[in-house]
Amino acid sequence: MQTTKSQAELHDVLRALLRESMRLQLMGANQPRLSQAQGYVDGFVHALVEAGISDHRALLAIVREIRNELTGPSTGAVGAESKELAA
């Protein structure tokens, strides 16, 4: 019986947690339910980093992938020029 999951399996779990959290946010779910889902994601990400299973770059790539899947691509890249416009 296998007791540990591979990095790919754990990343799939993270994808499912992110999809649920973002779906709830897009639906306008009530705050307690949304906070609970976001807490699951936060805790899972923390565990992946602390265990040395994933690094920040890999985790950000997964978040970007799921965000694009649910809401489409971003509208544009933010660069140094944007800082001048915001000021």
Please write the tens of the pLDDT for every residue from 1-45: 556 789 999 999 999 999 999 999 999 989 999 999 999 999 999
For the entire predicted model, the pTM comes to 0.76
Centre a 10 Å sphere on the Cβ of residue 66 and count the other Cβ atoms it contains.
19
Which tokens go with 25?
């946010």
Please tell me the distance from the alpha carbon of residue 39 to that of residue 18, in angstroms, as a whole number.
11
Task: Specify the number of domains making up the chain.
Answer: 1
Please tell me the distance from the alpha carbon of residue 38 to that of residue 21, in angstroms, as a whole number.
6
85 within domain boundaries: no
Domain that holds residue 47: 7-70
78 within domain boundaries: no
pLDDT of residue 2: 57
Q: CB of 71 within 8 A of CB of 26?
A: yes
Averaged over 52-73, what is the pLDDT?
A: 92
27 within domain boundaries: yes
Please tell me the distance from the alpha carbon of residue 79 to that of residue 72, in angstroms, as a whole number.
20
- Enclosing H/E stretch for 58: helix 56-71
